[in-house]
Amino acid sequence: MTDSMTFRSDCPVASALDLVGDRWTLVIVRDMIFGAATFGDFARGAERIPRNILANRLRRMTVAGLVRQEKYQARPDRFRYLLTAKGADLLPVVQALSLWSAAHLGHVYPPPDALLQAQPADLMPGKPDA
């Protein structure tokens, strides 16, 4: 703690949005849910997130404790970005968003079963697939 993070209020809704209320953060979480982990994985996503924004978001998410870095190579240091429990628990938010889109936005493809049936615990490393 002593995050230095400031929240607009003590409201749980507003506070959550202070952390994930932007157009990219949950897109990165979505990619992680589907197995993306490296900088390049995210940069290659369908929405073409700008690389500077991506670097910035990964930094904020790490500071916020949504994500942790795991070094997979040294010289130069390279990291895999993995969801923490805090980050994995955003799964219901992502699921709710995708169900809403499926119900109300005509142009989207249906949320994959892998997304709808996932559970936060599935998203954390240490437990490979069953």
Partner DNA sequence: TCCACTCGGTTGCAAAATGAAACTGACGGG
Partner DNA sequence: CCCGTCAGTTTCATTTTGCAACCGAGTGGA
Binding site for DNA (CB under 7 A): 22-24, 38-41, 48-53, 55-56, 58, 75-79
The reply on whether position 2 binds a copy of itself by CB under 8 A is: no
51 binding partner (options DNA, a copy of itself, none; Cβ < 5 to 8 Å by kind): DNA
62 binds, among a copy of itself, DNA, none (CB under 5 to 8 A by kind): none
Contact 28, 61 (CB under 8 A): yes
- Of 7, 43, 3, which Cα lies nearest the Cα of 24? 43
Q: Using CB under 8 A, which of 2, 4, 13, 76 touches a copy of itself?
A: 13
Hey, which residues does 80 pair with through a beta bridge?
70
Minimum CB distance to a copy of itself smaller for 51 or for 72: 51
Q: Is 114 in the site for a copy of itself (CB under 8 A)?
A: no
Query: Quick check: 23 and 113 in contact, CB under 8 A?
Result: no
35 Cβ contact partners less than 8 Å away, ≥ 6 residues apart: 41
